Homo-oligomer: A and B are copies of this chain.
Amino acid sequence: EMTLSQLEKGGYPHFMIKEIFEQPKTLADSMRGRVNVDENNITLAGFIDNKEKFLNAKRIIITACGTSWHSALIGKYAIEEFARIPVEVEYSSEFRYRKPVIHEDDIVIAISQSGETADTLAAVELAKSKGAFIFGICNVVGSSIPRNTHSGCYTHAGPEIGVASTKAFTAQVTVLTMLAMMIGKEKGTLSQEDYLKIVYELARIPEKIGVILKQDSTIAEFAKTFTYAQNFIYLGRGYNFPVALEGALKLKEISYIHAEGYPAAEMKHGPIALISQEMPVVVIATSAGMYEKVVSNIQEIKARKGRIISIVTDGDEVVSNLSDHIISIPDTEECLVPLLAAIPLQLLAYHIAVVKGCDVDQPRNLAKSVTVE
């Protein structure tokens, strides 16, 4: 006989792994009615209703905490690349207590899965009082942030129960990418050709995530090797730098291993001193995005005997030969790699935590929504 909790987990041992596996569906939900490949188009009501605001914005500030702060960084890269509007990403807890410069023609985007994050809600109120236009990206419909912003977009990832956010993160990145593309297309800063390519590739992301999820048992197997680890370093560059931060946060949250993310090129400014054969290093080294540069960063770590786990693009040989373990993911547009690269990092954190016997869905010291500051 199944308990209610088992039923809710749909046959999975934990909500987290259920939610990781839901991502082909949740991302399709997030794009439903928004991405239309037949018509080569993206429609985002939150953008259309406020088109002039976005087209005239001199600056966008994105405020968020934790995992949402990581998706904000990816959003920054996409908006700056496609829409050519300067974007500043701020920790809500820092933003609200200093005297940030906010102008009336600024747009402030607040990201929160729960829509109840206390620091982000306070940042929204502060920005509102300065006359900025506030746009919310939240998952929980009708929560406080959507009720207190001028407009926004829901991520439509469905209820997320696992304390460590997975499907909400990829849905946030999807919404931010769609937003960046729409602004860029309307402003004319993103070419029609590039726009069409990305629309096409975006629509294929759910299916590609499905392919990655088939490697679950391989990841579970080599995850066992790393339960001894007290520390991990995660590296990426460009769009994959925030993915490295997010991968490290997952491991911290549920396995209590001190994992830290870094932009790969910063290693030589200090952190590379940490590298020895006891230090596993996860590197996102996909072919789209500074591949050669990342290869040379990997060689530096290899020379110091670090153990390397790489996320590579299908068919990769160079990085694979340098790595102790590889997880390969399908090729896609550079700006969409985070949506794929995040998946094996979620699985890796999950399986290490499971082997360590940690309470994956209710990690110690953590709450799902941080409704106090």
Interface residues of A (CB under 8 A from B): 58-59, 65-67, 69, 77, 80-81, 84-86, 88, 91, 93-94, 97-101, 119, 164, 230-231, 237-238, 241, 249, 252-254, 256, 258, 260, 263-266, 268-276, 290, 293, 304, 363-367, 370, 373
Q: Are A252 and B271 in contact, CB atoms less than 8 angstroms apart? A: yes
Q: Told that A66-B269, A86-B88, A254-B273 touch, could you supply 15 new A-B pairs with CB distance under 8 A?
A: A59-B59, A65-B269, A69-B266, A69-B269, A80-B99, A91-B263, A93-B265, A93-B266, A230-B230, A231-B258, A253-B270, A256-B273, A268-B366, A272-B365, A273-B364
Given the known A-B contacts A270-B67, A273-B252, are A81 and B93 also in contact in the complex, defined by CB atoms under 8 Å? no
Q: Which 7 A-B pairs have the closest CB atoms?
A: A66-B269, A93-B265, A231-B258, A272-B365, A253-B270, A86-B101, A65-B269
- Nearest CB in chain B: distance from A71 CB, A: 13
Residues of B within 8 A of A275 (CB): 365
Complex CA distance for A139 and B88, rounded to whole angstroms: 28
Complex CA distance for A66 and B268, rounded to whole angstroms: 8
Q: Are A67 and B269 in contact, CB atoms less than 8 angstroms apart? A: yes
Residues of B within 8 A of A265 (CB): 65, 91, 93-94, 119, 373
Contact of A293 among B84, B97, B237, B254 (CB under 8 A): B97
Complex CA distance for A125 and B249, rounded to whole angstroms: 34
Instruction: Enumerate 28 A-B pairs (CB-CB under 8 Å) in ascending A order.
Output: A58-B58, A65-B265, A65-B266, A66-B270, A67-B269, A67-B270, A69-B266, A77-B98, A81-B98, A86-B88, A86-B101, A91-B266, A93-B237, A93-B265, A94-B241, A97-B237, A98-B238, A230-B231, A230-B258, A231-B258, A253-B270, A254-B273, A268-B367, A270-B366, A275-B365, A293-B373, A304-B364, A304-B365
Residues of B within 8 A of A364 (CB): 273, 304
Residues of B within 8 A of A65 (CB): 265-266, 269
Q: Are B94 and A273 in contact, CB atoms less than 8 angstroms apart? A: no
**Across the two chains, which residue of chain B brings its CB closest to A61?**
B86
Residues of B within 8 A of A293 (CB): 97, 373
Complex CA distance for A366 and B270, rounded to whole angstroms: 7
Residues of B within 8 A of A119 (CB): 265
Residues of B within 8 A of A69 (CB): 266, 269
Contact of A268 among B80, B273, B274, B370 (CB under 8 A): B370
**Across the two chains, which residue of chain B brings its CB closest to A304?**
B365
- Nearest CB in chain B: distance from A350 CB, A: 14
Complex CA distance for A246 and B241, rounded to whole angstroms: 20
Residues of B within 8 A of A272 (CB): 365-366
- Nearest CB in chain B: distance from A291 CB, A: 11
- Nearest CB in chain B: distance from A308 CB, A: 15
Best-surrounded residue of A67, A231, A264 (most CB of chain B within 10 A) = A231
Complex CA distance for A76 and B53, rounded to whole angstroms: 26
